[in-house]
Amino acid sequence: MIQSDPHPFAFELLATDGRARRGRIRTPHGFVDTPAFMPVGTRATVKGLTAAQLRDTGAQIILANTYHLLLRPGPDEVQRLGGLQTLTNWRGPMLTDSGGFQVFSLNDLRKVDDDGATFQSHIDGAIIRLTPESAMQIQQQLGADIIMAFDECPPLPAEGAVVERAVRRSIDWARRCREAHRIPHQALYGIVQGGLDVGLRRRCLAALTEIGFEGYALGGLSVGEPPPQMWAFLDEFAHEMPVDRPRYLMGVGTPRDLVEAVNAGIDQFDCVLPTRNGRKGYAFTSQGVIRLKNAVHRGDAGPLDPACDCETCRGYSRGYLRHLFIVEEALGPTLVSIHNLAFYQRLMREMRAAIAEQRFAAWRQSFLQGPLAQARKEEE
What confidence score (pLDDT) does residue 154 get? 87
Q: State the catalytic residues.
A: 97, 270
Picking from 349, 311, 321, 303, the residue whose alpha carbon sits closest to that of residue 53 is: 311
Average pLDDT over residues 355-370: 97
What confidence score (pLDDT) does residue 322 get? 98
pLDDT digits (tens, 9 = 90+) for 235-290: 999 999 999 999 999 999 999 999 999 999 999 999 999 999 999 999 999 999 99
Domain spans, the chain: 11-99+132-271, 281-361
Residues 234, 215: contact at Cβ < 8 Å? Answer: no
Average pLDDT over residues 18-43: 97
What confidence score (pLDDT) does residue 149 get? 98
Residue 201 three-state SS:
helix
Is pLDDT at 378 greater than 70 in this prediction?
Answer: no
Which of 47-51, 118-122, 295-299, 334-338 is the least confident region?
Answer: 118-122
What confidence score (pLDDT) does residue 60 get? 98
Average pLDDT over residues 48-56: 98
Give the list of residues 6+ apart from residue 111 with CB closer than 8 angstroms, or none: 117, 118
What confidence score (pLDDT) does residue 8 get? 87
Is pLDDT at 4 greater than 70 in this prediction?
Answer: no
pLDDT digits (tens, 9 = 90+) for 164-204: 999 999 999 999 999 999 999 999 999 999 999 999 999 99
Binned at pLDDT 50, 70 and 90, residue 295 comes out as very high
Is pLDDT at 9 greater than 50 in this prediction?
Answer: yes
The class level of CATH for 11-99+132-271 reads alpha beta
Give the list of residues 6+ apart from residue 212 with CB closer than 8 angstroms, or none: 178
Average pLDDT over all residues of the chain: 94
Average pLDDT over residues 147-151: 97
Tell me the whole-structure pTM to 2 decimals: 0.95
What confidence score (pLDDT) does residue 261 get? 98
Is pLDDT at 6 greater than 60 in this prediction?
Answer: no
Q: Which long-range contacts (CB under 8 A, 24 or more apart) does 225-230 make?
A: 225/156, 225/157, 225/196, 227/253, 227/254, 227/256, 227/257, 227/376, 227/377, 229/196, 230/196, 230/257
Binned at pLDDT 50, 70 and 90, residue 375 comes out as low
Binned at pLDDT 50, 70 and 90, residue 103 comes out as low
Average pLDDT over residues 64-84: 96
